[in-house]
Amino acid sequence: MGTGIEMISDLISRTGDLRRAFRDQKFSPDSIKTDINRYSMKETANMVGRSHQAIRDAEKTGRIPAPELGENGRRKGFTLKQINQMRDVFGTRPSRDKDEEPVIIAVQNFKGGVAKSTISTHLAEYISRSGYRVLLVDCDSQASSTGTFGYVPDDDIKEEDTLLPFFRDEEETLHYAIRTTYWDGLDLIPANLHLYSAEYELASDVSSETFSTLRDGIATVADDYDVVIIDPPPALGMISLNVIYAANALVIPMPPSMYDFASTISFLTMLQETMSVLERAVGTIDYKFVKLVLSRYDENKSAQEELVKLIEGEFGNAVLGAKLRESAEIVTASYNQRTVYELEPTSSSKVRKRCLNILDSVNSEIELLIRESWPSHAKKLRDEGIL
């Protein structure tokens, strides 16, 4: 027996070793995650946009390095870093023009359990794998995105590593918080539980500048990125208000169940009211696009299928065509503190391939929206028959 605080404190004291043991079980002996993906010549040629022969010729002349050889003397395949080096050599790496602003996407819903972090992390890896420079900003004190990239947030991340010092006006830029990840082209600003204190600190001295803190911070590092993806907290608070103003695009996950549908309608109403208040304080909020994505969709549930038809009928092209279907691979990846893009092929490779196709369909639609927002991509999109 004891007080409630004593009982909770006892539980917390038991979690440290458990967190560390979990990490050590999932990753290499030094607890460091790596990108194990290797891409075949066919995959590499498609990603780089050059023929097999052009790549071989560039290897022979030393313009690009050849991939490592395995013990059997055969090529291991190309890493994403090598592919990006090829893109730089051949001039095929996509980007925005210098006079175009980065697309800053908030994956936002005020309800938890809607696949917000799942979408944020998979989208970040997909967009960076395509060659863009990406920054993932974890604004959620639960730090699911941070954990996906190999950290035990409350062990490996200190409060001075998060957004908190910038929110406190202790740092002039966000460069201090940016971490390079093992996924080439993708950087991370991590979070941990301490970030939650920003809710109280920002609320203690509210002014128009309070709502623009995150936007001002992203502006200090924006030149280094094509796309910024923000994973916000699943609640309406001061950090979420900052996210709403910092973003210039919204992706709203919505599972097709009646409770989640009702919750999303409430979210949209709250969002409209919140934006009206924000605009009075900071000015007009412009978004390049706002899209709903049907998440956690199970096509085998007839009730969901009926609701999907209603949603698509009412919202029309505000809903992404691709749906994020439920998949055992997403659950497996989450258990292993990874994304599906990071899972090793197994005996269930057909299931994995199907899940990858689903993720790619969702993410490629968002990539197209990103490209359509940059005038410099218009000609190429026309040449590709998209515009």
> In this predicted model, what pLDDT tens digit does every residue of 193-215 receive, in sequence order?
999 999 999 888 878 788 999 99
Q: Domain-by-domain residue ranges, the chain?
A: 41-90, 103-383
What class, spelled out in words, does domain 103-383 have in CATH? alpha beta
Burial of 43 (0-12, 13-18, 19+ CB in 10 A): middle
DSSP assignment, residue 377? G
Q: Count of alpha carbons within 13 Å of 208, Cβ hemisphere only?
A: 6
Identify the bridge partners of residue 250 per DSSP, sorted by sequence position: 106, 290
Q: Give 298's pLDDT tier (boundaries 50, 70, 90).
A: confident
Please, which contacts does 75-82 make with residues 24 or more away whose CB atoms are closer than 8 Å? 75/41, 76/38, 77/38, 77/39, 77/40, 77/44, 78/38, 78/39, 78/41, 78/44, 79/35, 79/37, 79/38, 79/39, 79/184, 80/35, 80/37, 80/39, 80/129, 80/183, 80/184, 80/185, 81/184
> What's residue 371's pLDDT?
96
SS3 251: strand
Q: Count of alpha carbons within 13 Å of 285, Cβ hemisphere only?
A: 28
In angstroms, the CA 14 to CA 102 distance is 43
State which H helix or E strand residue 249 sits in. Answer: strand 249-254
Contact 296, 255 (CB under 8 A): yes
Q: Which two tokens stand for residue 297?
A: 């969709």
pLDDT in tens, 122-161: 999 999 999 999 999 999 999 999 999 999 898 899 999 9
In angstroms, the CA 339 to CA 148 distance is 7
More confident residue, 22 or 241: 241
State which H helix or E strand residue 48 sits in. Answer: helix 41-48
Identify the bridge partners of residue 253 per DSSP, sorted by sequence position: 293
Amino acid at 327: S
Whole-structure pTM value: 0.91
pLDDT in tens, 212-267: 999 999 999 999 999 999 999 988 889 999 999 999 999 999 988 888 888 888 88
Q: Give 29's pLDDT tier (boundaries 50, 70, 90).
A: very low
Contact 136, 229 (CB under 8 A): yes
In angstroms, the CA 69 to CA 79 distance is 13
pLDDT in tens, 37-68: 999 999 999 999 999 999 999 999 999 888 88
- Report whether pLDDT(358) > 70: yes
Phi (first) and psi of residue 349, to 5 degrees: -60, -30
